Chain A
Amino acid sequence: MNQYYKLQEEFFVDMQRCIGCKACEAACAECETNGHEPMIHVNYVNRAVTIQTTVQVCMHCDDPICANVCPADAITKDEFGIVHTANTSRCIGCSNCVMACPFGVPKKVEEYDLMMKCNMCYDRTSVGKKPMCATVCPSGALFFGTREQMEKLRPNSSPVNKFIFGMETVTTKVNIMLPKGTEVLKVF
């Protein structure tokens, strides 16, 4: 089904560059796999004191907590490391994944009694195209391409895919751009 998947291309996020324009949200809603619901999150970090916004796609964790806590076996990870959105026939809408994901990614759509989340535009990436959000982001907060391309664009940053949450270290398929030489980001 997906012999075109380009494993050499990766996702790089730099939320510090997010300007909160929500172009990615509009583009995300065009994705064929999520029934025209935007899955990407853009929100103010603490509106009372700062205009900082953040942007969040699914990080496609190596050992996804969302899938582990799902009582219905509705979330699966494929051979390319993509953690897919809930299987519509299985998901019972319990929101375990929504509350347990360390990055706050899955969305529970109450009306459908279904969890939905970013699957890195599988309809596009599985045929060698880039995810919708990364093609429209005007500020470079979202980038999809090879490591070499990223290095040229951001010579003073390093892609990091290791995050610390309490006593847990989570490794992911998606990278976050941090100051050069950083190997791990302690979040909590």
Chain B
Amino acid sequence: MKLFNTTAFFAALTATLITVTLVLLGSRNLQNYDAALVAYLFGTLFAIFGVVYRYSVWIQRPPTKVYLKSSIRTLFSKEFIQCSWFSLKDFVKNILFQSFIIKRSKKKGIAHLMMAFGCLMAFAITVPLTFGWIHFTLVPETGLYPNVENIYTIHFFGFEMSTFPINSFVGFMTFGALNWCSVLVIIGATYFLQKRLKDPGLISTQTFEADILPLLLLNLVSITGLGLSLNYKFMNGKAFEFMAVSHAFFVIVFLIWIPFGKFFHIIQRPAQIGAHIYKEIGKNTGMQVCKHTKKEYTTRLHVTDLKEITTELGFNLQNNAGDSLLEYSPEGKRDLLAIAHLQARQTSGTYFG
């Protein structure tokens, strides 16, 4: 693989510059920008650059390109109607509620769902704050007297949106939701951590940086985040500085790690929908019948595309007669090997040796 990918670099640069522009616009030239968040902002910008770079490199690979091309083709064809309802259902079922993980194991599925919801909600809350798109101001009169309930104004892109009292549902969600996200993530990540320390199958194949580190990071981010609130509420802000710095540290490591490590699967996962759509529309081309077993095994479209992908990758699975190995089902291919093996034994004059 090439070390430097120019297309990916420019895609990443463009995405980062667009984000910077939106930060400037949203915070009205940083007028409304909370300086305490600047370290998070740099972490996020790095993550955006890295994610877009890796994503662009990824979609340029021959097998991925096929799915991308097919998805775009579908988007602009009459099959789009056929697929839109299907995709929506698929999105809710598999991306939102991750039913395929629940089927693998109920406990794992629920723990993963907690982690995923916690993380995605936390992103949805913190990213607009970090970008300065949303900020809150205290209605001055309500801050003057200790026995009057504080009322806050919410601003979006510098426009006043609405006001809410601190002790309302909106107030609770705004200032307390992150704590709930932390709790969800801690439960989910701890479940997986103990599993990874106990399950012999996982122990034999896992590595620290690919599997344990991400779970530790999630826990550290959430615990220090929760610590900030607890500290503020119950310890009168003692050690707040320490908590704030350690939380920022772990969040930034988390952000920087997104493009490189396990967290990248969050970005890759929606491709699953693409694969499902591909299978659906592939049926319109008919099913491929195995030359040996005479049974259907995949769509014709799939076989045609795989021929192209393997050729592009430098594998030539065609024989002299112009037949392709890809026209045999997995079972058919196993049989071909067994037949060749038997023939070799027969030619040698003995079945065993």
Contacts and interface: CB of A to CB of B under 8 A. Distances in A.
A54 B338 contact: yes
A71 B67 contact: yes
Contacts of B265: 89-90
A176 interface: yes
A178 interface: yes
Interface string B310-337: 1001011111000111101111111111
A149 interface: no
Contacts of A32: 199-201, 204
Given A100-B326, A166-B318, A54 B337 contact: yes
A188 B319 contact: yes
Given A96-B306, A99-B298, A157-B353, A187 B271 contact: no
A186 B317 CA distance: 12
A99 B303 contact: yes
A112 B303 CA distance: 23
A93 interface: yes
A186 B311 CA distance: 20
A114 interface: yes
A149 B268 CA distance: 46
A157 B331 CA distance: 26
Interface string A27-50: 000011111000001010110000
B89 interface: no
B63 A71 contact: yes
Given A41-B334, A94-B278, A178 B344 contact: yes
Interface in B11-69: 58, 61, 63-64, 66-67
A123 B201 contact: yes
A166 B341 contact: no
| Size category, B interface | 35 or more
B271 to A, nearest CB: 5
A84 B324 CA distance: 26
Contacts, number: 193
B297 A99 contact: yes
Contacts of B104: 35, 88, 112, 114
B272 interface: yes
A103 B340 CA distance: 12
Contact of A16 (B206, B315, B316, B341): B341
A148 interface: no
A165 B335 contact: no
A26 interface: no
B200 A185 contact: no
Contacts of B337: 15, 54, 56, 103-104, 163, 176, 185, 187
B346 to A, nearest CB: 10
A179 interface: yes
Given A16-B342, A99-B330, A89 B204 contact: no
A65 interface: yes
Contacts of B333: 101-104
A112 B342 CA distance: 36
Candidate in B64, B203, B315 with the most chain A CB atoms within 10 angstroms: B315
Nearest to B341: A15
Contacts of A156: 350, 353
Contacts of A114: 100, 104
A172 B104 CA distance: 31
Given A1-B207, A104-B334, 9 more contacts: A16-B342, A69-B313, A71-B64, A71-B67, A88-B104, A94-B275, A102-B325, A112-B100, A176-B341
19 contacts: A32-B199, A33-B201, A35-B104, A45-B339, A54-B338, A68-B63, A68-B310, A69-B309, A94-B278, A102-B317, A102-B333, A103-B337, A111-B100, A119-B205, A123-B201, A123-B205, A168-B316, A176-B337, A187-B336
Interface of B: 58, 61, 63-64, 66-67, 94, 100, 103-104, 199-201, 203-207, 262, 265, 268-269, 271-272, 274-275, 278, 297-298, 302-303, 306, 309-310, 313, 315-319, 323-326, 328-342, 344-345, 347-348, 350-353
The 9 closest A-B pairs by CB, nearest first: A104-B330, A54-B338, A179-B348, A156-B353, A32-B201, A104-B333, A123-B204, A167-B316, A71-B63
